[in-house]
Amino acid sequence: MAKIRQQDLVLKENSAEYKLVPGEGLGTAKPQDKKEEFLSQIIQRLNEVFVTDQLTDKDMVNYAYTIRDKVGENAKVMKQIENNLPEQAMPGDFSRAIDDAIMDSSEAHQNQMMQLLADPGKAANFARIVFDLLAQGQAKNY
């Protein structure tokens, strides 16, 4: 079973240097950061796809990244994406790769969940990994 690589999304608001600035930039027409603008557009599009009552923006974005990474493992599909317009690449192997990635990610998450629920030692080790990942993100605050 392939391991799922999941990118951690760190929004600007979660960074240590983020502070609310009262209305100083109003009317300056500063362009929004390109990555931030792209992420905002992705979230808006994901909100159109999913019923979001029990999903956070991070839930949706992380899932999209998980599927992106899974499809990205398919060399044939990536070659088609690199060499074709979306209208040409999407109906081909990409469509099947998306379906496979959705199913594979579900199976991988289910497998990991079952291992963690069945073995308290593994669950404790996993908890420490998650703790360390969270603490690393907070290291800037110290």
Q: Pull the structure tokens for residue 23.
A: 């209305």
The pair of structure tokens assigned to 135 is 């603490």
Q: What is the pLDDT of residues 29-54, one digit of tens each?
A: 555 688 889 999 999 999 899 887 88
Q: What is the pLDDT at residue 34?
A: 87
Q: Which of 21, 26, 65 is nearest to 43 (CA)?
A: 65
pLDDT at 125: 95
User: Which tokens belong to 142?
Assistant: 């110290």
Q: Check whether 1 has a pLDDT greater than 60.
A: no
pLDDT tens, residue by residue, 52-91: 788 999 999 999 999 999 999 999 999 999 999 999 999 9
Ordered DSSP codes for 7-75: PPP--GGGSTT-----STTTTS-PPPPHHHHHHHHHHHHHHHHS--TT--HHHHHHHHHHHHHHHHT-H
Query: Looking at residue 140, what is its pLDDT?
Result: 53
8 A C-beta contact, residue 39 and residue 10? no
Q: How far apart are CA 80 and CA 94, in angstroms?
A: 8
pLDDT score at 19: 55
Backbone angles phi, psi at 22, to 5 degrees: -70, 110
pTM metric for this prediction: 0.64
